[in-house]
């Protein structure tokens, strides 16, 4: 119930005599149901993904994303700022996660020779093994929760729907390529 947009069932219901000038366009019954369902997905899908990785691999989804991004980069290395963009997180958050991963021996930091300000994060051999070991289970879960229950047509729609929503939230986004 993230959604349903909590329109209090006021006494002055549908009529257009609002206090502040314009009467808000409330959601229709059907739209409310849609919003309710979407809200639930928004709230639970990330949790479910996290749970699987935590359970089977002992890492958070975010940690996985960071290591996965490194694993696909040349030299398995990325600058912190680039990595932050790819992981859709701020620098502080990334910095602490990398510290955590470094302590576990999966990532190591090194100064960038070409730019004294920036740091390079590199996935270690152990880190690569960790990603390889974790990926199948994670992919399987993604497939089970999202791709298997939907038809091909729905997946195409889901792609287009997501794309449109993102465009509104952040018009200049790298996710659209």
Partner DNA sequence: GGCGGTTTGTTCAACCTTTAACCAAAGCGT
Partner DNA sequence: ACGCTTTGGTTAAAGGTTGAACAAACCGCC
Q: Which of residues 107-166 bind its own copies (CB under 8 A)?
A: 128, 131-132, 135-136, 138-140, 142-150, 154-155, 157-166
Which one, 73 or 119, has the nearer CB to DNA? Answer: 119
Is 112 among the residues that bind DNA (CB under 7 A)?
yes
Which of DNA, its own copies, none does 98 bind, CB closer than 5 to 8 A by kind?
DNA
Rounded to the nearest whole angstrom, what is the least distance from the CB of residue 133 to its own copies in the complex? 9
Which one, 103 or 152, has the nearer CB to DNA? Answer: 103
Q: Residues 5, 32: contact at Cβ < 8 Å?
A: yes
Total residues contacting DNA by CB under 7 A comes to 25
Which of DNA, its own copies, none does 31 bind, CB closer than 5 to 8 A by kind?
its own copies
Rounded to the nearest whole angstrom, what is the least distance from the CB of residue 98 to DNA in the complex? 6
Rounded to the nearest whole angstrom, what is the least distance from the CB of residue 24 to DNA in the complex? 26
Is 78 among the residues that bind its own copies (CB under 8 A)?
no
Q: Which of 60, 71, 73, 122 binds DNA (CB under 7 A)?
A: 60
CA–CA gap between residue 37 and residue 30 (Å, rounded): 11
The phi-psi region of residue 35 (left if phi > 0; otherwise alpha if psi is between -120 and 50; otherwise beta) is: alpha
Is 91 among the residues that bind its own copies (CB under 8 A)?
no
Which one, 30 or 117, has the nearer CB to its own copies? Answer: 30
């Amino acid at each position: 119930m993230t959604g349903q947009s909590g329109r209090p069932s006021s006494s002055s219901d549908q009529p257009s005599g609002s206090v502040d000038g314009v009467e808000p366009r409330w959601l229709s019954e059907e739209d409310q149901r849609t919003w309710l369902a979407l809200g639930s997905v928004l709230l639970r899908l990330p949790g479910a993904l996290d749970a699987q990785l935590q359970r089977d691999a002992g890492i958070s989804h975010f940690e996985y994303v960071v290591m996965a991004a490194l694993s696909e980069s040349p030299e398995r290395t990325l600058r912190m700022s680039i990595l932050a963009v790819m992981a859709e997180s701020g620098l502080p958050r990334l910095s602490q996660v990398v510290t955590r991963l470094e302590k576990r021996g999966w990532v190591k930091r090194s100064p960038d020779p070409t730019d004294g300000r920036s740091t390079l994060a590199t996935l270690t051999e152990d880190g690569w093994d960790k990603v390889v070991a974790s990926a199948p289970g994670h992919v399987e879960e993604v497939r089970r929760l999202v791709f298997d229950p939907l038809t091909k047509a729905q997946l195409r729609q889901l792609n287009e729907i997501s794309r449109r929503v993102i465009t509104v939230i952040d018009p200049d986004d790298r996710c659209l390529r």
